[in-house]
């Protein structure tokens, strides 16, 4: 059995980086690499499952700057760019990054693209980005190839902003012992390291990370009878046996797959994501009569009762919170879901309140209802995540 420590001692960082680039240079048709994670049917379900858990734990928000470390041919960077993130694709193989550029060029993203990705070569030691310049780091099946993990974790801690998260999807604690790993290390000068999250966190704490969390992973089939046992009152041998089966599956799955997150200080939510958005709107009175051609004017107090800060400005429209209205007729039928927008005067932290005066120009004589809500642009209406709009009745005439 080849010990990965022997591979690290036998080869320099630069030699292992050259091995990675040589692998991509030998590829005559990069199309399969560009189509990941849909290249091989037997790999796709696991890859998508792991990717879903990874994206969930990263707590992404639109317009966040994300470092895709070990990006390879940038397939994941392409997905993150489609999510309106500002992506830096970083890899030690310049050839892989060239294939990634081809991927973006030949297969354009859907819809309006806010950011174009950055392609950043990596020398194996330093990430050429300023201090505290990225919101998130994502590393998908790449960290176990790195020999100098302590040095790279220090770089992650340097470039990550306070409150940021570095997320990893990696093989498990006995990865080096698999037949495939032994083959790669024996024949291709590739490091296939074991992933020990305790050792990783010990090194990460020394460079500014404060916590490590993991996603619980399992992969099992369940019969309808098992499902009924799962949701029945917890008693009897069948329930205990099912609990043991789930536990064993979780143990075995997580022994072979580690999806974990390094946190740099407390996580701070903001309106680039829907999580933690909540308001209380105070408007008085709720009934108005205005003359034709004159605007409706009313005052609003908007209180942030959630856990996320409402952004007033951003690098793009996504995540900016505005007062917004739906227009209904007098019978409550929806006429215009996006009737108006009104900017907030400032960024609003949880527990804070802002006041603003709103002028609305209604279509013409008649009876109307205005549904007054907040919207995080490109993310969600607050009503859709649990807040209650305020309804105003208006007679024009």
Domains and CATH numbers, the chain: 4-267 (3.40.50.150), 279-396 (2.60.40.770)
Q: Distance between CA 50 and CA 167 in Å, rounded?
A: 11
- DSSP assignment of 12-68: -HHHHHHHHHHHHHT-S--HHHHTTTSS-TTTHHHHHHHHHHHHHHHT--TT-EEEE
Non-local CB neighbours of 317 within 8 Å, separated by 6+ positions: 377, 378
Predicted pLDDT of residue 46: 94
165-196 residue pLDDT tens = 999 999 999 999 999 999 999 988 899 999 99
Would you say 182 and 3 are in contact if contact means Cβ atoms under 8 Å apart?
Answer: no
Non-local CB neighbours of 265 within 8 Å, separated by 6+ positions: 162, 163, 164, 210
Beta strand 366-376 with 390-396 is antiparallel
Predicted pLDDT of residue 290: 95
Residue 382 DSSP code:
G
Mean pLDDT score across all residues of the chain: 95
Query: How would you class 344 by CB atoms within 10 Å of its CB: exposed for 0-12, middle for 13-18, buried for 19 or more?
Result: buried
Predicted pLDDT of residue 114: 85
- Return the percent helix, strand and coil in the chain, to nearest 5: 30, 30, 40
220-256 residue pLDDT tens = 999 999 999 999 988 889 999 999 999 999 999 999 9
**Residues of the chain under the 70 pLDDT cut:** none
Q: What end-to-end distance do the CA atoms of the chain give, in Å?
A: 87
Q: Would the pTM of this model clear 0.85, i.e. be above it?
A: yes
């Amino acid at each position: 059995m080849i010990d990965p420590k022997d591979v690290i001692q036998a080869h320099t960082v630069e030699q292992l980086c050259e091995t990675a680039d040589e692998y991509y240079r030998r590829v005559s048709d990069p199309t399969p690499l560009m189509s990941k994670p849909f290249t091989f049917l037997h790999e796709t379900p696991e890859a998508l499952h792991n990717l879903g858990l990874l994206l969930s734990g990263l707590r992404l928000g639109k317009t966040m700057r994300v470092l895709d470390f070990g990006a390879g041919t940038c397939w994941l960077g392409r997905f993150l760019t489609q999510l309106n993130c500002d992506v830096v694709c970083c890899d030690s193989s310049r050839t892989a990054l060239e294939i990634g550029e081809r991927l973006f060029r030949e297969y354009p993203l859907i819809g309006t693209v806010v950011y174009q990705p950055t392609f950043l070569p990596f020398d194996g030691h330093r990430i050429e980005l300023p201090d505290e310049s990225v919101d998130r780091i994502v590393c998908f099946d790449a960290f176990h190839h790195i020999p100098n993990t302590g040095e790279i974790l220090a770089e992650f801690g340097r470039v990550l902003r306070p409150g940021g998260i570095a997320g990893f999807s990696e093989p498990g604690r006995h990865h080096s012992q698999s037949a495939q790993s032994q083959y790669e290390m024996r024949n291709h000068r590739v490091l296939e390291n074991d992933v020990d999250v305790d050792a990783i966190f010990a090194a990460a704490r020394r460079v500014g990370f404060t916590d490590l969390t993991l996603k619980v992973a399992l992969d099992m089939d369940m019969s309808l009878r098992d499902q009924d046992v799962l949701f029945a009152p917890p008693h009897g041998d069948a329930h205990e046996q099912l609990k043991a089966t789930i536990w064993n599956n979780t143990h075995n799955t997580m022994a072979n797959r580690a999806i974990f997150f390094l946190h740099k200080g407390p996580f701070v939510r903001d309106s680039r994501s829907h999580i933690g958005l909540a308001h209380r709107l105070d408007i008085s009175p709720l009934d108005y009569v205005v003359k034709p051609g004159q605007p409706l004017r009313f005052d609003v107090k908007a209180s942030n009762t959630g856990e996320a800060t409402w952004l007033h400005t951003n690098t793009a429209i996504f995540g900016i919170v505005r007062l917004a209205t739906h227009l209904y007729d007098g019978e409550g039928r929806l006429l215009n879901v996006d009737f108006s927008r009104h900017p907030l005067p400032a960024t609003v932290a949880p527990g804070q309140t802002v006041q603003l005066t709103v002028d609305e120009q209604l279509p013409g004589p008649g009876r109307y209802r205005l549904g007054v809500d907040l919207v995080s642009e490109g993310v969600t209406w607050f009503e859709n995540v649990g807040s209650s709009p305020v309804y105003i009745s208006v007679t024009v005439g």
